[in-house]
Amino acid sequence: MRPLLHPSIEDVTVEGILHALSDPIRVAIYADIVSQECTQNCSTFLTVSDKTIPKSTLSQHFRALREAGLIRGERRGVEVHNISRCAEIEQRFPGLIRAIVNAHAIQLKDEAAKRPSRRAARNK
Amino acid sequence: MRPLLHPSIEDVTVEGILHALSDPIRVAIYADIVSQECTQNCSTFLTVSDKTIPKSTLSQHFRALREAGLIRGERRGVEVHNISRCAEIEQRFPGLIRAIVNAHAIQLKDEAAKRPSRRAARNK
DNA sequence: TCAGTAGTTCCGGAAATATAAACTATTGAA
DNA sequence: TTCAATAGTTTATATTTCCGGAACTACTGA
């Protein structure tokens, strides 16, 4: 099995980052990896925001995040551990990742406030 | 001809913004509209960074920017004037636009420094 | 009324995405 | 060992999205 590919930091592009994070599943995954700075394996995300993602699709999403330079994946035995490369990216594009993750968090909060939550639906 | 559509600010999504700005032509256009805060019409961009864009393609790009909520287009007689909606977006997603435009500027500068410029090539 | 300009829409081909199915690699157990 | 299970990748195909030429709409000025 060929090794996981990662661009060097100077080959990382803004377009690439934006494109990778313009998919709801991928931002969700990435936000999660960034927030808990421990390494996570892929299968943690077989369901993302209540949707079941086929693992082939998931694999592609992780590849997209890797090739955009957003995360680094390392094989550890049978599984792959993923860590974010946000320190490197922060150095190259200061403030970018923070702003995006922050905006994403705001949006999640707004959505939760707007749409009646499962809990509210149960209780009415 | 049906009127130009614009989402209200609360329907603007991070994913939508990132997707719209993940295209080199669209960021270039958007960065330009943001920087010179005067209204510009579409045809100004029939060539973007030395590439000729067919006007049908250009029209799609402008639609993408409008539907993402990034710009507002108003028909003024035969042409459309475009202004950025960055104040609204700043209020909803603070720092997002600035960070992206800034990162984009950094990347342009890096590229210019790396790749020998046309001027340098002429002079050697 | 007619020509010119600015932009949109429509449509066919090209490229990108999603996913099922088959495959690879590693681990642990019998 | 050998076998089964697990984690993830690759491949093939169906679907979606994107590009750009051609035709169209709307407005303006002669």
Backbone angles phi, psi at A24, to 5 degrees: -55, -40
pLDDT digits (tens, 9 = 90+) for B24-34: 999 999 999 99
Average pLDDT rounded to a whole number, residues A14-41 = 91
Short-list B8, B4, B9, B5, CA closest to B90: B9
- Residue B94 near residue B103, CB atoms below 8 Å: no
SS3 B85: coil
Cα(A1)–Cα(B18) distance, integer angstroms: 33
Contact A94 B102 (CB under 8 A): yes
Q: Residue B107 is nearest to which of A14, A24, A99, comparing CB atoms?
A: A14
pTM of the predicted protein model: 0.91
At residue A6, what is the residue type? H
Region A97-105: what's the mean pLDDT? 97
Q: What is the pLDDT of residues B50-108, one digit of tens each?
A: 889 999 999 999 999 999 999 999 998 889 999 999 999 999 999 999 999 999 999 99
B72 vs B82: CA distance, rounded Å: 6
Work out the average pLDDT over A89-112: 96
- Which spans in chain A are helix H? 14-20, 24-35, 55-67, 86-92, 96-114, 118-123
CA of B61 to C1' of D21 (A): 17
Nucleotide nearest to A63 (CA to C1'): D9
The H or E element that residue A48 is part of is strand A47-48
